[in-house]
Structure 1
Amino acid sequence: MKISNGVAATDLSDVTWTKSRYSGAQGNCVELARLADGAVAVRNSRDPRGPALVFTPAEMTALFAGVRDGEFDHIVD
């Protein structure tokens, strides 16, 4: 199966989804899953059957580095 952005999360039934321990009980979180080819799928926990976006490891590394450095703090302030 070719994995691309906007894939239905239900098509990724063989992966393990992980969410942050900082997530609230209200479903206000995103979940990530590592795919067999090393890519990372991201979905909204409120819609686990909805679409999942798929990113390369390099894209996720860049995102996590920016998050750690506070580059996106202004988005949720």
Structure 2
Amino acid sequence: MRDRHNPYDHEPTDAEWVKSPFSADDNGSCVVIARFDNGDVWVGDDKNPSRPHLAFDQAEWTAFIQAIEARDPRFTA
């Protein structure tokens, strides 16, 4: 049995954190994303960087984005 890949297994300095273009500086909804060379993605909160981030492997992130693009009501406002 293969060990499951751990998307948390990265150094934070190995990726460039970018702010979502849909986040506004003045309303407290700041989301940042870090992408790694292997496709893993971290999601964080730039107004509270000490807060734990969420980590997704490439398949999980793709599934999440596809649900949003399909306007699945469970993932959209």
Identify whether the pair has TM-score above 0.5, normalized to the shorter chain. Answer: yes
Look up the match of 1:21: 21
Higher helix share: 1
Structure number with higher relative contact order (C-alpha < 8 Å, ≥ 6 residues apart): 1
Match for 1:50: what amino acid? R
Give the total of aligned pairs: 69
Asked if the contact 2:7–2:41 (Cα under 8 Å) also holds between the matched residues in 1, the reply is no
Q: Which runs of 4+ in 1 moved over 4 A?
A: none
**RMSD over aligned Cα atoms:** 2.4
**Structure-2 separation of matches of 1:35 and 1:61:** 14
Query: What aligned pairs does 1:1-77 form with structure 2 within 5 A after superposition?
Result: 4=8, 12-26=12-26, 27-71=28-72, 72-73=75-76, 76=77
Secondary structure of 1:25's aligned partner: coil
Where structure 2 has 5 or more consecutive residues not aligned to the other structure, the ranges are 1-5
Secondary structure of 1:41's aligned partner: strand
Secondary structure of 1:24's aligned partner: coil
Normalised TM-score (structure 1): 0.70
**Structure-2 separation of matches of 1:4 and 1:35:** 11
Greater CA deviation, 49-58 or 30-39? 30-39
1:49 shift after superposition:
2.6
Asked if the contact 1:28–1:45 (Cα under 8 Å) also holds between the matched residues in 2, the reply is no
1:47 shift after superposition:
1.1
* Structure showing greater Rg: 2
